[in-house]
Amino acid sequence: MKIEGCVLNLGCGNKTIAWATNHDLMERDGVDVVWDLNVLPWPWEDNSVDFVIARSVFEHLEHNLLVSMNETWRILAPGGIVEIKLPYWNAEVSYDDPTHRYVYGLGIFDEFDPDTKRGRQYGFYSGRKWKILYRPRLNKNKTSFDCQLRVRKPIPCRLSGSAGELAEHIAQLSPDAVRAYEVAAQIPRQMESYQGMGLFFLAKQYDYKGTHILDIGTFKGFSAAILAQAVPKAQILSLNPCEPEVEEAHKWLKAFSNIEIQTIASWDLLETYAGPEFDLIWIDGDHKNVARDILWWRWLSPGGLMVFHDYSGSQSPSPSHVYFVLNACKEISREFDVLIVDDRGVGMAGWYKE
């Protein structure tokens, strides 16, 4: 199956792939890049690869798996994936290869994923985090296993311009955002087109199985419809305490099976909420209570994004209540990672959780 984007096939040997950049230690037919992976840094630029294939490679290197994973993290673009095959420790054949420096257990990748118990316990090993897409799977002979992980690397996004310029720029970054906006535009909304498209673009990086999204402020369902198209593999929880609006939202959103709407204020649910953590939290509810909505930060997973609608900063003729609350927030005292504002100074702003 062909994988879209820039694909790097590490340590390919004689198993080259026509549509990938093939790497190996030695020159041979079909190999594009010859490099000793023991030599750091590897010869690829930061954020330059979308998919890395590393099958039966890392166990041969002098450095440990942590070093290989960190280098893979560096060269992968935000949202990039690595597919890895490793020798299983409990198979005699794993020790028969004299070039094997390491063998591994099925829990080896837990330390890299902060959603796992060991990932939380040993998170100090590296600041470069991953999301396990599927648990390690033993092969038929139980001699090796494979696993896929997605890099947890936030997409910094600071854009400004007219509403039209922003819409055009986001369409170039994410062409699918245009179609998603067109589908959702039939729903009554209080968002500019560039804002809906911007939400799609930011959410798209979390489109993998096991993702959880929180949408605070359903209104009639526009933002939920945008999110459902951006992350069809995710589970979306949308909150709105206004029953008539929720009833109307159900009608607009019946085509999307991954949305659950609850008729409740976010701060009331927060009192009893017990998990899971969210990968993206979109806040567009009652702006007078945004200081209560921001407390959901504690339920944002590492690498997750909390972003706020109706941000009007100091450059706006009338800075919004959202602006004053976010700038007074002591728990997240740094510049915005996401800031998309039009020439009126109005837009959206947010942070990734480090």
Q: What does the block give as tokens for 234?
A: 């995710």
Please tell me the distance from the alpha carbon of residue 91 to that of residue 103, in angstroms, as a whole number. Answer: 9
| pLDDT reported for residue 334 | 80
**Which residue in 163, 167, 184, 183 sits closest to 175, CA to CA?**
167
Average pLDDT over residues 30-34: 97
Residue 341 CA to its chain's centroid (Å) = 22
Confidence of residue 41 (pLDDT cuts 50, 70, 90): very high
Tens of pLDDT, residues 266-304: 999 999 999 999 999 999 988 788 889 999 999 998 889
CATH of domain 7-151: 3.40.50.150
Looking up tokens 């290869």 gives 97
Q: Higher pLDDT residue, 65 or 344?
A: 65
Instruction: Identify the burial level of 156 via C-beta atoms within 10 angstroms of its C-beta, where 0-12 means exposed, 13-18 middle and 19 or more buried.
Output: exposed
Which residue spans of the chain are classified as CATH 3.40.50.150?
7-151, 157-352
Residue 319 reports pLDDT greater than 70: no
340: number of Cβ within 10 Å: 27
Average pLDDT over residues 161-185: 94
CB-based burial, 26-62: b 16+ in 10 Å, e otherwise:
eeeeebeeeeebeeeebebeeeebbbbbbbbbbbbbe
Fold for the domain defined by 157-352:
Rossmann fold (3.40.50)
118: number of Cβ within 10 Å: 16
Please tell me the distance from the alpha carbon of residue 203 to that of residue 256, in angstroms, as a whole number. Answer: 16
* pLDDT over 70 percentage in the chain: 96
Going from the C-alpha of 42 to that of each of 69, 102, 238, the distances in angstroms are: 12, 20, 43
Q: Find all residues with CB under 8 Å of 311, minimum gap 6, and list them.
A: 320, 322, 323, 326, 339, 341, 346, 347, 348, 349
* pLDDT over 90 percentage in the chain: 73
